[in-house]
Structure 1
Amino acid sequence: MASKEEKRRRAALVQAMVAEDTAKAIEEMPISLAHLGQLFDHLDVELENGCDHTPRITAAFLTSNGLNLEVILPWLHDQGGFCDCEILANVEESWESEISKNT
């Protein structure tokens, strides 16, 4: 059985690996964490009237902010965001802790 010291060492190694993977994922994102946070805030307001199950609001936000729609929408899709409400629910859930740490 591993000692408490060994368990702490292993936990620290796992934490370091997760932090490294997260940092790499952030570097590879086609949208900054700041813009992603702004998108979530925008969707939160705009979706008060419901979702038409398209990424229409997201596309308008990206376009109005000069962001690359053709790259970011597929990335959001890969993150589980197929329409505006899923972008807000699924993608925000995945990235909200990183956004709050980095903005």
Structure 2
Amino acid sequence: ANAIVVSVDYRRAPEYKFPAAHLDAVAAYRWLTTNAASIGGDPKRLALAGESAGGNLALATAVAARDQGLTSPKSVIAVYPVGQTTTNTESYLKYADAKPLNRPMM
């Protein structure tokens, strides 16, 4: 892909409550928009990616970038992100007792 991958570590619950992870993700993206060239990247061709909680962080970081006037990512890859705030949808109710991740755990 001829890409540079920057993998970001972020604070996780339960030790660190919301919005710690989101703040870390946005801070890392802000750093990257300023420093991409210094690591051989193109600051105009940034992408965000993540799965599950990371997918949520990728989406939320793209929204924060827009809201904060940062360079917008060229693409966002979000693999099964949690992208909503309710657990009252048809599938949440249908699979409320699913293993290993049930509705109360979400």
Q: Same fold (TM over 0.5)?
A: no
Larger radius of gyration: 1
TM-score using structure 2 length: 0.29
Q: TM-score, normalised by structure 1?
A: 0.29
Q: Larger % of helix: which?
A: 1
